[in-house]
Amino acid sequence: MNTGRNSTNLDVTQVTSDILSEFLEVAFHSILYTRELYPAGIFERRKKYNVPIQMSTHPDVNQYIIATIQSLKPLLDKHTADRVCMTILDGSSRPTEKFVFEIASATACDFSEDMYLVRLEDALRAFLLKLNICDAILTTNPQECSWCIQVHTTEIAYADMKQTPKAQEFTWVEAEREQTYMGESSMLPLKSVDNAVVKMQLYVEENTSRKKT
């Protein structure tokens, strides 16, 4: 049994990044829905982790999200994506809020503690629930909004990533300072999970200056 599990270690990182990218996709969709970045009409109800979620049905939006996540995968595979942020920009392209998924490499990379990933699924479900009700602690977004996905990674990982064919189809560019720097902001922790497979926390950075106005 033990040897068998050890030999799967290579698989485990693969599986973990699969799980993470799956989760990120679902999370992005539900952020888009709860933060009302798109009209509710383009969303439909699906089931994931045994609970209902809202997924966009707009082909372009979906395509964009899928392409982004696929090109992210090399980073997730190597645990070099420190943070994945979904940044919501106001009319003048300044970030008003950031949903930050901070991903660390898991303590022990094996499934022995959670063979059937029941607890992991619990945790991911809890993330989604928190995203669903984060409205209550956030101020409403301004009318004209756009969004983008930003990744914090290392220089070398970025260079590596550029080599892969997938990334060449879908190029990442360095973020402009205006789109990352938020000035006065507050941090609202939403949820964290730390188990043998995934170590991740989710918080929202919110521009506090918009609260005053």
Binding footprint of another protein on the chain (CB under 8 A):
1-2, 4-6, 8, 11-12, 14-15, 18-19, 22, 33-34, 40, 45, 50-54, 107-108, 110-119, 122, 125-126, 128-129, 132-137, 194, 196
109 vs 148, which CB is nearer to another protein? 109
Largest interatomic CA distance in the chain: 61
Q: With respect to another protein, which residue has the nearer C-beta, 23 or 147?
A: 23
* Nearest distance in Å: CB 123, another protein: 9
Q: Which is nearer to another protein, 7 or 143 (CB)?
A: 7
**N-term to C-term CA, the chain:** 61
Q: Smallest distance from the beta carbon of 78 to another protein, in angstroms?
A: 18
Q: Can you tell me which residue has the tokens 């068998």?
A: 4
CB of residue 176 vs another protein: minimum separation in angstroms? Answer: 32
Nearer to another protein, 81 or 190 (CB): 190
Minimum separation from the CB atom of position 80 to another protein (A): 16
Please report how close the Cβ of residue 164 comes to another protein at its closest, in angstroms.
20
Residue closer to another protein, measured from CB, 15 or 175: 15
